[in-house]
Amino acid sequence: MRQRQEIQGMPRPPGLIRTDDAYWDGIAAQYVVSQDFINLENGYFGIEAEPVFAAFQRYQREIHDLNSAFLRLHWPQRLAHVMQVLARFCGVSPEELHVTRNAVESMNILVQGYPFKPGEAILMAQHDYDSVGEAADMVAERKSLSVRRIAVPLDPQSDGEIVSLYEQALTPSTRVIVLTHIVHRTGQIMPVARIAAMARARGVDVFVDSAHAFAQLDIQLPELGVDFIGANLHKWLGAPLGVGLLYIRRERVRDIAPLFGDRSHALDDIRKFSHVGTVPPASILAIEDAIAFHEQIGSANKEARLRELKEYWVGKARSIPRVTLLTPRDPQRACAIAAFRIEGMQAQAVADLLLRDHGIFTVVREIEGGQGVRVTPHLYTSKPQLDRLVQALQQITASL
């Protein structure tokens, strides 16, 4: 087994939450990013830390040099090892995991492979990810299902209010709830475990879209109490682009038909999903390095820092006239991601100005029937950079 990489000079006991900026400057130094602009659009994918990128390049070299001998002689054992490491990190068995290309692929395997019968229904929220919703609508058309979408408030009185909304929207035909763990538009964290418990009691399955929650939140998969989870590893875990994750509780693997694959594995063997053709092994091998880097920081520590960065700019931006925050008020109901709009300006015009005049890169998302500018810092983001964002918002609004 390979040596775990150490972040030089920064050993930390697990579970310790660091609030000192000097420590975080040391973490930030492990990321090499363009100095030409301030990237506050880390929601698309998460840049790899340098030790992960270096490992990825080493693997590329090795695979290139050995060519098909790598794939034929070494790949099965190397993959099995990565799956062990990943399973330990997730708190599940390797027989419950399959590495996909991304979260959309994982969610498609679930939505398209589920044994729906005509007349059954899928329950979702209006804020769920568009391509996952598209997959649900496509399957609904094909299999004569219905898809219902509910609105979820950003500032509920309690988790119970959200659970009730889902519960009240269930009908006798609802077979599956598709549930986004962290909403990509607003950063809202959904009470997944509580919704899942309610659904389980009603005999309804839950597919969790954990694209943003995986490795952003300090949670292991079994804590969610669901049988089906799709995620990616190239956002918050910081693995190279092109790796996703599918979790299916062992007893339920049989229930999902492979989207790709073959008949060489038993129906209850998760490897039935795996024969998708030749895969890019370097990205998959680097999952181990991404986990090692993540664990040096620690899940709780990382979640706390990301929330601190979000709260840092959101706290200042809330008092700027004309700025409306489109993210939960309760700091615990969101983590890294938040969004805003400026009264009297199109969101795209704001994002364009931020980039052109202030060198700050953000993205526009559809939020609650309108549009907002989404801001997503990363571990390499500094507070002075967030001050630049707040100053930019003050300037833009003052000129209106």
Ligand X SMILES: Cc1ncc(COP(=O)(O)O)c(C=O)c1O
Residues that bind ligand X (CB under 6 A): 102-104, 129, 132, 180, 184, 209, 211-212, 232, 244
DSSP 19: -
Q: Which of 242, 244, 238 is nearest to 379 (CA)?
A: 238
Instruction: Decide whether 189 or 270 has the Cβ nearer to ligand X.
Output: 189
Name residue, tokens 């709260």.
311
Q: Tell the smallest beta-carbon distance from residue 371 to ligand X (Å).
A: 16
Instruction: Decide whether 178 or 342 has the Cβ nearer to ligand X.
Output: 178
Instruction: Decide whether 10 or 150 has the Cβ nearer to ligand X.
Output: 150
Q: Tell the smallest beta-carbon distance from residue 104 to ligand X (Å).
A: 3
Instruction: Decide whether 103 or 204 has the Cβ nearer to ligand X.
Output: 103
Q: Tell the smallest beta-carbon distance from residue 235 to ligand X (Å).
A: 7
Listing DSSP states for 75-137 in one string gives HHHHHHHHHHHHHHHHTS-GGGEEEESSHHHHHHHHHHHS---TT-EEEEETTS-HHHHHHHH
Q: Tell the smallest beta-carbon distance from residue 232 to ligand X (Å).
A: 3
Instruction: Decide whether 26 or 280 has the Cβ nearer to ligand X.
Output: 280
Q: Tell the smallest beta-carbon distance from residue 212 to ligand X (Å).
A: 5
Instruction: Decide whether 41 or 205 has the Cβ nearer to ligand X.
Output: 41
Q: Tell the smallest beta-carbon distance from residue 76 to ligand X (Å).
A: 25
Q: Which of 206, 179, 175, 199 is nearest to 190 (CA)?
A: 179
Q: How far is CA 251 from the centre of its chain?
A: 25
CB 48 within 8 A of CB 380: no
Instruction: Decide whether 129 or 340 has the Cβ nearer to ligand X.
Output: 129
CB 337 within 8 A of CB 376: yes
**Long-range residue pairs from 345-350, CB within 8 A, at least 24 positions apart, any chain:** 345/396, 345/400, 346/371, 347/371, 347/372, 347/373, 350/396
Instruction: Decide whether 30 or 232 has the Cβ nearer to ligand X.
Output: 232
Q: Which of 394, 379, 387 is nearest to 335 (CA)?
A: 379
- Cβ neighbors of 315 (< 8 A, separation 6 or more) are none
Q: Is the dihedral of CA 89, 25, 240, 289 positive or negative?
A: negative
Instruction: Decide whether 98 or 212 has the Cβ nearer to ligand X.
Output: 212
Both structure tokens of 377: 């810092």
Q: Tell the smallest beta-carbon distance from residue 219 to ligand X (Å).
A: 15
DSSP 74: I
Q: Tell the smallest beta-carbon distance from residue 242 to ligand X (Å).
A: 9
Largest Cα span, the chain? 65
Q: Tell the smallest beta-carbon distance from residue 274 to ligand X (Å).
A: 18
User: How many Å apart are CA 125 and CA 222, to the nearest integer?
Assistant: 23
CB 157 within 8 A of CB 339: no
Q: Tell me which amino acid residue 266 is.
A: A
Q: Tell the smallest beta-carbon distance from residue 180 to ligand X (Å).
A: 5
Sheet holding 228-232, edge to edge: 97-100, 244-248, 228-232, 205-209, 174-180, 121-125, 146-150
CA 394 to each of CA 92, 279, 387: distance values in angstroms, whole numbers, following the listed order: 47, 48, 10
